[in-house]
Amino acid sequence: MIQPPKADEYAQFYAGYVQRVPPGSDLFSLLAGQPSELRALLQKVTEAASGGSPKPGEWSVKEVIGHISDTERIFAYRALRIARGDTTPLPGFEQDSYVLATNFNQRRLSDLIDEFGSQRQANMLCFKPLTEAEIDRRGTASDNPISTRALLYIMAGHVMHHIESLKVDYKVKG
């Protein structure tokens, strides 16, 4: 069981994601279940509805799912490098620029969900066997210290954040 990261293992910006993971959670079970949770939540959302924004300036459901996949890739890359002992500082990324640089709305919602599920499955195969030493390793991302442990918690909390947003802000009901 991976214990929650301490506050010095991540930038304050990520605290909201880390704190979303319920105390005592089996982190890997939570991570493994999120693709199915997302799929169940979005099962009744039509292609037409998934390409529209709830309000001007907001992302569409497809863009949210595309963003989740982009972020999963970036956080996993950071976690891998840090777990392997690479101390090279890793750059940040601007999420809005990533979403604007592609057209997630041209894709099928089911394909976007499948993409995230495949990424998460690969990440589980990579990260579940990490040793305690690899989990504890620290590096630098976005000019802030961060641990492998924190990145795994952030990955889970980030998806939890967007699932809640889809329910509350987008009024999606599975």
Question: Residue 30's CB: how many other CB atoms inside 10 A?
Answer: 20
Alpha carbon distances (Å) from 46 to 42, 52, 105, 162: 9, 10, 12, 18
Sorted by where each begins, the domain ranges of the chain are 7-168
Q: Which of 8, 41, 4 has its CA nearest to residue 160?
A: 41
pLDDT digits (tens, 9 = 90+) for 119-150: 999 999 999 999 999 999 999 999 999 999 99
Please tell me the pTM assigned to this model. 0.97
User: What pLDDT, in 10s, does the model give residues 64-105?
Assistant: 999 999 999 999 999 999 999 999 999 999 999 999 999 999
Q: Mean pLDDT, to the nearest integer, of 106-115?
A: 98
Report d(CA 149, CA 133) in Å as an integer.
Answer: 10
Four-way CATH pick for 7-168: 3.30.1330.10, 1.20.120.450, 3.30.70.3270, 1.20.210.10: 1.20.120.450
